[in-house]
Structure 1
Amino acid sequence: MPLHDAFWPERVPRHVPAIATSVWHNLAVSAARYPDKAALVFFGTVTTYAQLAGQAEQLAAYLYQLGVQKGARVIVFMQNCPQLVIAHYAILRANAVVVPVNPMNLAEELAHYIRDSGASVALCTADLAPQLVQAANAVGAEGDPSLQHLIVTAFTDAFDPQAMGDDAPPAAWRDWLCGAPDGAMLQEGRHHAWREALACSAPPPPHTAGPADLAVLPYTSGTTGLPKGCMHPHRSIQHNVVGAALWGQQTMQAVSLSVVPMFHITGMVVVMHGSIYLGATQILMPRWDRELAGRLISKWKVTTWTNIPTMVIDLLASPNIADFDLGSLEHIGGGGAAMPQAVAQRLQGQFGLAYVEGYGLTETAAPTHSNPHHRPKQQCLGIPIIGTCACIVDPDTLAVLPPGAQGEILVHGPQVFDGYWRNQAATDAAFVTLEGRRFFRTGDLGHMDEEGYFFLTDRLKRMINASGFKVWPAEVEALMFRHPAVQEACVIGARDAYRGETVKAFVVLRPGHEALTEDALIAWCRNHMAAYKAPRLVEFVDALPKSGSGKVMWRALQQRQEAIDRQGVAAGP
């Protein structure tokens, strides 16, 4: 019997039967059950379940007319908004595959998603269209297959700027939310207006997607630099959609503050799909703003809020915190980064809320571990959730280790992905067979305590965790090498009081470029990669430490930085 069995939540099953329905089926059922219930609320505008399902079917029919067939990959490039939800379900209704892309990515990064996924159709908001168009045109100019159709929506397609009331966003958002499209056009493809697509009167194709068919292709990076697509069929997504709802003991009465990005696997599976499976209501926020979040929780009586710890820290620091009514919150939790103990204790003492941390990866459709709600531990990953088996092994010998010993975390369960898209070598390296079962190697180091709770202690993989965003140094380095002054670059993590970690680059300049400043290189990086990836610290060096075989010894630089960070903490402010 597993050590954690004694702490299993009451009325939560240990296993879920194999789910035979597609993710689309969840919306179809909730729309039939609760047609007039609020599914989405966006700046005061309500979308009911009947409206959500109807618009998804119309968009599915339009995609089908554009040539989207079963298994086709379709890019979704948006911040949280009703259109993102509609797009996901329309693509699934059309038996196709959602390729969710981080809206912070810039053109040079986007080109890889277009090439690798083979997508010929994309949907995006008007503010992001110029970057996607630039990427698509660059791919086409190189002779590779590129986007043939781009469906563009304005945020105001989903809300009335004159009727926002107490849900009004910060004034600084107005131009972004209500601005006119840029006008950038595909050189070899067609643009389509969102309203035109939703006016489609043709019937959608028969829905034939089943549990084994590919549903979502989210991308994750790694040590090789370029992001890899994670193949998730309907069955792996469905397992965690149902499992997370059962674990949290949520019902259709739940009201979620949906602010974690839905391009990210947690926001997509646990928040978006989980809420729709339940028939719950989502209060959508496209970006984080603590004052707006406080008002929305208060007005809409939010009951559940999945987040990253920096959001909670920011909200509690608001000068208006005493004016917000947080009394409706029943569940608050998240992952991506550890919740500082002092903040967790304040939540418990002042608001009676236990912060419930969990753990998962893109490859596992979000959670593999979560703390039992009735008995959470602070700064802890929790215990393996429904249907999941996890263990700690020696990363070299793969021998299973006892409680207290540090090793690599391995997971096995229905939520684990099928493998990496068009990358069999990476797939083979990611899995190992133990006692006849296929385990995924997470690349994270941790230990299990005597009660079966798991803790993260270190990383086997090169990765930086900045406010919950995963930054892969090899990818940043590859982008930095495009600067004409950069001869060599090595990216590591540095301690940051707010973000937890931030990105630092050690750079060797090419001869003749010594006039380049650190600030100028940082500015260039921000113009060529997503803001969370761009180095905030740059240090020019004469040479990088290298091994006898010529490989850059990044770990030596990382250890040097950790020593500097420790000295800074010891010295205090």
Structure 2
Amino acid sequence: MEAAAPTPDRPHIKFWPKRLPRELVVPETSLWFNLEVSARRYPRKPAALFFGRELTFLELHRQAEALAGWLQQRGVRRGDRVLVYLQNCPQYMVAFYAVLRADAVVVPVNPMNRAEEFKHYISDPEAKVAICSADLAAHVEAANAELPESQRLEHLVVTRYADAMPEQFDTPAEAPPAAMEAWLRSDPPLPAWATRWADALAERRVPGPATAQADDLAVMPYTSGTTGLPKGCMHTHRTIMHNTIGGGQWGHGSAETVTLGVVPMFHITGMQYCLLSPIYSGATVVIMPRWDRELAGQWISRYKVTHWTCIPTMIIDLLGSPNMARFDLSSLRYLSGGGAAMPQAVAERLHQQYGLLFAEGYGLTETAAPSHANPPERPKLQCLGMPIFGVDARVVDPVTLEELPPGEVGEILIHGPMVFKGYWRQPEATQAAFVDIDGKRFFRSGDLGRMDEDGYFFLTDRLKRMINASGFKVWPAEVEALLYQHPDVQEACIIASRDAYRGESVKAVIVLKQHAKGKTSEEQIVAWARENMAAYKYPRSVEFVDALPKSGSGKVMWRLLQDQENQRVAAAA
């Protein structure tokens, strides 16, 4: 397809990489079929490397089929939702594709979520089966027990990370730090109703014919928002497939690619770049279950990693390693990421010392990861990039929806083949998330940005109330709802606090109940939150106040508190 000529509303065409088509022709097949093809093409090639142990494409296919048969034998039917609650590991790959092979829907759950948070992921999608790691089984058990019997899970498959690891490491470079190894090899007691991973596969169940079609639901990741509990984003095989293929093409991906898989696979970015796209292209993923800069440096060097999609804080951490001079980064060809802006000084060091250009991108759970990306041939710093294959992105006045000229700040709207179909059983939220312009259905990102004269997009602020902590999105309404369960909390408001390393951190402004004043400390609130919330989500600091500022209608004026916090930080600086 020939590239269109630049127009005032599409100036980025002038800078579009000549090697790439403007739009993609996406297969009318399921995501499962991608694995089937790669297993036939590259049966003995490693799909994954985990502490030196290989999982070949053929073995991945075999295990996924066996687990799919087990799921169907336990009653999983077409369109049913199955929870996958794991850190990055080969079993995550197997579980993901097993659910797809069973014609079911993957519901990825953040493994940092605790029992109280996990209940919602059982009840809302009406899941009856979950797949988790041994260290998280207790959370599943506790969450399940607190739900009415009619809403509970019926089956649980549990794996140890050590199930996919070698008994001994060939070299010290493959070995994790002692604390990480103890966690990976842990074998806590399991709920009586759980089935061990090895036992499920050992049944060697054969699934029925794969019948999923391109427009069937495939994946339902959850995203939070300004109000209420997290909402399921309905993605079909087709919407996910678009970025699965496009992400590889954009970043020079191929069967020769070796990817460092450290961005969490439960997250839409990790799902695309560390799981789906590599499986499609036949690439190898070097899987890291948790970030560790020394391990990352050693594995990039040992396995000749070519592609790394990450969060800028990871690169900052790696460059700060005292062993940096020993690491060989010469194999890296493509470095990309998002979630936070790459500092200019760090980007310049990457380019000067290693010849690497960092290509930032932009996307949301609702857009199956990227809707915008910087071309690796011509990236701009602190920039979202240009609209990718088939995307029509506009900057509009948030109220009038009138399109704004380059340089003016407005809300970013996105129309494209990767946009989700709506929120699970949330018709009002779905309707509010979209707007029709020129006969097209645009998703309202809730992000404020501008487009420059070259057609590159830049983020300037948020319409939605959200905190970005090291690339993890924290929605204040969700944290506030959890804080209200503390027996000493009368009122709570969550705001962002500047953090030199994480970018932003979570701060709680709290009014204590009368009986707790002078008795409950900030440290006790933080400790309680740490026990009941995901690690990235709990407040790192707490401020007690006598009352929260409120508007005439009784709404908490969080923006005023945020402005006061910003002024305090500025004064201290």
SS at structure 2 position matched to 1:102: coil
2:35 paired residue number? 27
Give the AA of the match of 1:95. Answer: D
TM-score (norm 2): 0.97
- Shift, 1:83, TM fit: 0.3
Partners of 1:60 and 1:184 in 2: CA distance = 22
Per the TM alignment, residue 550 of structure 1 is displaced from its structure 2 partner at its CA by 0.5
Distance 1:330 1:554 in 2: 44
Tell me the secondary structure at the aligned position of residue 117 of structure 1: coil
Q: Which of 135, 151, 161 is the equivalent residue of 1:155?
A: 161
Residue number in structure 2 paired with 1:82:
90
Give the 5 Å matches for 1:410-429: 410-429=413-432
Whether 1:110 aligns to 2:118 is yes
Are 1:555 and 2:555 an aligned pair?
Answer: no
Indicate the SS of the match to 1:538. strand
User: How is 1:118-129 mapped onto 2 (pairs within 5 angstroms)?
Assistant: 118-129=126-137
**Contact persistence 1:225–1:476 (CA under 8 A):** no
1:507 match: 510
Q: Distance in 1 between matches of 2:415 and 2:571?
A: 40
| Deviation of the 1:164 alpha carbon | 4.8
Alignment of 1:142-221 (within 5 A): 142-165=148-171, 166-185=173-192, 190-221=193-224
Contact (CA 8 Å) 1:255, 1:303: kept in 2 or not? yes
CA distances 1:279-309 after superposition (whole Å, capped 9, x unpaired): 0000000000000000000000000000001
Q: How far is the alpha carbon of 1:355 from its aligned partner? A: 0.5
What's the counterpart of residue 491 of structure 2? 488
Do the aligned partners of 1:115 and 1:144 also contact (CA within 8 Å) in 2? Answer: no
Is the counterpart of residue 292 in structure 1 residue 295 in structure 2? yes
**1:315-343: CA deviations, max 9, x gaps?**
00000000000000001110011111111
From 544, 557, 568, the counterpart of 1:564 = 568
> How far off is 1:8 after superposition?
0.4
Return the letter of the residue paired with 2:268: I
Give the Cα separation in 1 of the matches to 2:21 and 2:250.
8
Residue 96 (structure 1) aligns with = 104
Q: For 2:123 and 2:150, locate their aligned partners in 1 and report how far apart those are by CA, in whole Å.
A: 7
* CA distance in structure 1 between the partners assigned to 2:441 and 2:209 by the alignment: 34
| Residue identity opposite 1:471 in structure 2 | V
* Residue of structure 1 equivalent to 2:453: 450
Amino acid at match of 1:493: A
Q: Secondary structure at the match of 1:539?
A: strand
Per the alignment, residue 520 of structure 1 pairs with 524
Instruction: State the partner residue of 1:48.
Output: 56
Q: What is the SS of the residue equivalent to 2:516?
A: coil
Cα RMSD of the aligned pairs, angstroms, is 0.9
Give the 3-state SS of the residue equivalent to 2:430 in structure 1: helix
Contact 1:220 1:362 in 2 (8 A): yes
Q: Residue type matched to 2:155 in 1? A: H
After the TM superposition, which residues 364-513 of structure 1 pair with which residues of structure 2 at under 5 Å, given as runs? 364-513=367-516
Instruction: Note the C-alpha offset of 1:18.
Output: 4.0
Match of 2:246 among 231, 234, 243: 243
Aligned counterparts of 2:64 and 2:440: Cα–Cα separation in 1:
38
Q: Which runs of 5 or more structure 1 residues have no equivalent in the other structure?
A: none
Q: How high is the sequence identity, in percent, across the aligned residues?
A: 60
- Tell me, what secondary structure is at the counterpart of 1:488? strand
Identify the match of residue 269 of structure 2 among 266, 271, 275. Answer: 266
SS in 2 for 1:565: helix
Deviations 1:63-120 (A, max 9, x none): 1101110000000000000000000000001100000000000000000010001000
1:5 pairs with one of 8, 13, 16? 13
| Structure 2 counterpart of 1:354 | 357
Q: Which secondary structure does the structure 2 equivalent of 1:90 belong to?
A: helix
Distance (whole Å) between structure 2 residues aligned to residue 93 and residue 183 of structure 1: 27
Aligned to 1:536: 540
Q: Deviations over 1:220-244 (max 9, x none)?
A: 0001130000000000000010111
Partners of 1:74 and 1:122 within 8 A in 2? yes
Deviations 1:501-530 (A, max 9, x none): 000010000001011000110000000111
Q: CA deviation at 1:9?
A: 0.9
Q: CA deviation at 1:251?
A: 0.9
- Contact 2:343–2:382, Cα closer than 8 Å, also in 1: yes
Offset of residue 203 of structure 1:
1.6
TM-superposed deviation, 1:148: 0.3
In 2, Cα distance between equivalents of 1:182 and 1:202: 26
Kept in 2, the 8 Å contact 1:270–1:366? The answer is no
- The alignment covers a number of residue pairs equal to 563
2:260 to 251, 257, 261: 257
For 2:188, the aligned partner's letter is P
Aligned to 1:283, which of 275, 282, 286?
A: 286
| Aligned residues of 2:67 and 2:205 also touching (Cα < 8 A) | no
Alpha-carbon shift at residue 147 of structure 1 (Å): 0.5
SS of the aligned residue for 1:35 comes to: coil
**Match 2:65 to one of 57, 60, 65:** 57
- TM-score of the aligned structures, taking structure 1 as reference length: 0.97
* Alpha-carbon distance, 1:200 to partner: 2.6
- Post-superposition shift, 1:274? 0.5
Match of 1:14 in 2: 22
Q: Give the Cα–Cα distance (whole angstroms) in 1 for the partners of residues 28 and 336 of structure 2.
A: 29
1:517 maps to a residue whose letter is: S
Contact 1:124 / 1:151 at 8 angstroms: preserved in 2? yes
The aligned counterpart of 2:324 is 321
* Cα drift, residue 271 of structure 1: 2.3
Amino acid at match of 2:446: G
AA aligned to 2:361 is G
Structure 1 residue 567: deviation in Å? 2.1
Give distance in 2, aligned partners of 1:354 and 1:60: 41
Shift, 1:202, TM fit:
2.9
SS of residue matched to 1:268: helix
In structure 2, the residue matched to 1:224 is: 227
The structure 2 residue matched to 1:301, chosen from 300, 304, 310, is 304
1:66 partner amino acid: R
